[in-house]
Amino acid sequence: MVAKINYGSSLFGALAYNGEKVNEGVAKILETNKVFSPADGTHDISACMQDFMAYMPSHVLTKKPVIHISLNPHPDDSLTDEQFSAIAWEYIEKMGYANQPFIVYKHEDIDRHHLHIVTLAVDERGKKINDGNNFYTSTRILKELEQKYGLIPAQMRKEKEVFRLQKVCYGDGENLKKQLVSVIRPAAKFYHCPSFKEYRALLSTYNICVEEVKGEIRGKTYMGLLYFATDDKGNKVGKVFKSSLFGKSVGYEALQNRFKASKEKLKEKHLAPKTKAIVAGALKRSATREDFRGEPASQGY
Give the lowest-confidence range in 38-47, 147-156, 205-214, 267-276: 267-276
Q: How far apart are CA 167 and CA 143, in angstroms?
A: 34
pLDDT given for residue 291 in this prediction: 56
Phi/psi for 215 (5° steps) reads -145, -175
Q: How far apart are CA 63 and CA 44, in angstroms?
A: 26
pLDDT at 274 over 50: yes
Q: Are 142 and 1 in contact (CB under 8 A)?
A: yes
For range 141-159, the mean pLDDT: 82
Given strand 220-230, what is the order of strands in its sheet? 208-217, 220-230, 236-242
Phi-psi region of 118 (alpha: psi -120 to 50; beta: other; left: phi over 0): beta
Segment 11-25, tens digit of pLDDT? 999 999 999 999 989
Segment 32-76, tens digit of pLDDT? 999 988 888 888 999 999 999 998 877 777 888 999 999 999 888
Question: 2 forms bridges with which residues in the sheet?
Answer: 72
- Go through 188-225 and write b for each residue having 16 or more CB atoms within 10 A of its CB, e for each that does not: beeebbbebeebeebbeebbbbbeeeeeeeeeeeeeeb
pLDDT given for residue 269 in this prediction: 65
pLDDT at 289 over 60: no
> Which SS3 state, helix, strand or coil, does residue 298 take?
helix
- String of DSSP letters for 225-250: EEEEEE-TTS-EEEEEEEGGGG-GGG
Instruction: Tell me the longest C-alpha to C-alpha distance in the chain.
Output: 82
Q: Report the share of the chain in percent with pLDDT over 70.
A: 84
